[in-house]
Amino acid sequence: MSEDFLPIKGYDHVEFYVGNAKQAAHFYDKTFGFTPVAKRGLETGCRDRASYVLQQGKIRLVFTSAYSPDSEISRHCGLHGDGVKAMAVEVSDVEAALTAAKQRGGTVLKPATVEKDDGGSYVTGELKYAGDTVFRFVDRGNYKGCFAPGFEPIDAHGSEGVGLASIDHIVTNVHLGEMDFWAKWYAEVLGFRNLAHFTEKDISTEYSALMSKVMENGTGKVKFPINEPAEGKRKSQIEEYLDYYQGPGVQHVAMTTGNIYDTVTELRNRNIDFLRVPDTYYEYMMDRVGDVGEDWSRLKELGILLDKDDDGYLLQIFTQPMQDRPTLFYEVIERHGSNGFGIGNFKALFVSIEEEQKRRGNL
């Protein structure tokens, strides 16, 4: 069933619509250590929007703002706050990808569009995805420029990186009852397979619950989990997200590192706030997981979580939301054999998230 009719090379970029792209770019440079590499805007002849491209390892983030209030970008920001507009993956043939997706029930929002400049030709196309988010295909096989036609390189050195290497997965939150619809969309429209399925039995606290399905492409290079809230005594963190984002959208982007101790130490030095689990978590986990060669006292000091399965283990940590609205956040992950998502940590994490929800008056 998972015949790969739509070969995906990997993540290409994530584009955010934000209120002030210049400041967002500065923030991701100074805190997360992304290097500004390209820009478009009035100075480059782009009259309706400004975009900044930042890179670290293989991760490319694009921050875009509008110059006018009657722009789709301004409307998006007004409704959702700063958030992810497009999840972009690289393919070798955008036209073929869109055609295959359309035949299988996908909705094409932007047909294959070729843009050219001195760097060559760059092709994009878009499918409708959950809420106002789009799923973008990019073919940069014949493009040698800095990011895309219309962009100019930024001659800035940027801050020192923090060791972030690649995107591991991108998670979407949807309304109750919609998870299966989007899981089916990935399976039927894009030919993905279901890698994991978590029910409210796996992911629940005394107060709230959620369900999750993880979809991945044929090569396993891209993974897109989908969450929906489940019935609970109180408001789940997914419902809180949906309320503040005014609908479905990207909940978190997980980024890999080769040394999570160094990455998290540096991020903490740069004032990035992370979720904290109670100290008892570490005593419990030491008993449960045993010696895997990690330094438990350093994990505890930095607030890094560990989970183990049959294939190996992983280390992970989650930031607080990156905006005033409790919407998008990040995960930093270091994998040692495990292809999981940290299910053993879900309960401790969600109790910790509920503490934060309580502080916001949203539990």
Quick one: 56 or 172, whose CB is closer to Fe ion?
172
For residue 338, the minimal CB distance to Fe ion (Å) is 13
Tell me if 317 contacts Fe ion by CB under 5 A: no
Determine contact, residues 102/81, Cβ cutoff 8 Å.
no
Q: Please tell me whether residue 180 adopts helix, strand or coil conformation.
A: helix
Segment interacting with Fe ion (CB under 5 A) among 50-58, 118-126, 179-187, 254-262: 254-262
Tell me if 29 contacts Fe ion by CB under 5 A: no
Tell me if 216 contacts Fe ion by CB under 5 A: no
Tell me if 214 contacts Fe ion by CB under 5 A: no
Kindly compute the dihedral angle of the four CA atoms of residues 235, 351, 253, 40, in this order, to the nearest 10 degrees.
70
Q: What angle do CA 166, 168, 170 make, to 5 degrees?
A: 115
Segment interacting with Fe ion (CB under 5 A) among 70-78, 233-241, 259-267, 331-339: 331-339
Q: At what angle do helices 343-359 and 280-289 cross, to 10 degrees?
A: 170
For residue 345, the minimal CB distance to Fe ion (Å) is 10
Quick one: 25 or 272, whose CB is closer to Fe ion?
272
| DSSP secondary structure of 259-326 | -HHHHHHHHHHTT--B----THHHHHHHHHH--SS--HHHHHHHT-EEEEETTEEEEEEEBPPSSSSS
* Of 13, 9, 283, 8, nearest in space to 134 by CA: 13
Tell me if 189 contacts Fe ion by CB under 5 A: no
Q: What is the 3-state secondary structure (H, E, C) of 141-170?
A: CCECCCCCCCCEECCCCCCCCCCEEEEEEE
For residue 170, the minimal CB distance to Fe ion (Å) is 9
Query: Half-sphere exposure of 290 toward its Cβ, with a 13 Å CA cutoff?
Result: 2
Quick one: 6 or 254, whose CB is closer to Fe ion?
254
Quick one: 102 or 347, whose CB is closer to Fe ion?
347
Tell me if 210 contacts Fe ion by CB under 5 A: no
Determine contact, residues 90/138, Cβ cutoff 8 Å.
yes
Tokens found for residue 157: 């050195």
For residue 341, the minimal CB distance to Fe ion (Å) is 5
Sign, CA dihedral 272-277-228-166, equals positive
Segment interacting with Fe ion (CB under 5 A) among 64-72, 79-87, 226-234, 247-255: 247-255
Sign, CA dihedral 174-179-185-187, equals positive
For residue 5, the minimal CB distance to Fe ion (Å) is 27
Tell me if 254 contacts Fe ion by CB under 5 A: yes
Tell me if 331 contacts Fe ion by CB under 5 A: yes
For residue 116, the minimal CB distance to Fe ion (Å) is 37
For residue 342, the minimal CB distance to Fe ion (Å) is 7
Quick one: 41 or 340, whose CB is closer to Fe ion?
340
For residue 318, the minimal CB distance to Fe ion (Å) is 8
Segment interacting with Fe ion (CB under 5 A) among 237-245, 292-300, 328-336, 352-360: 328-336
> What residue ranges bind Fe ion (CB under 5 A)?
254, 331
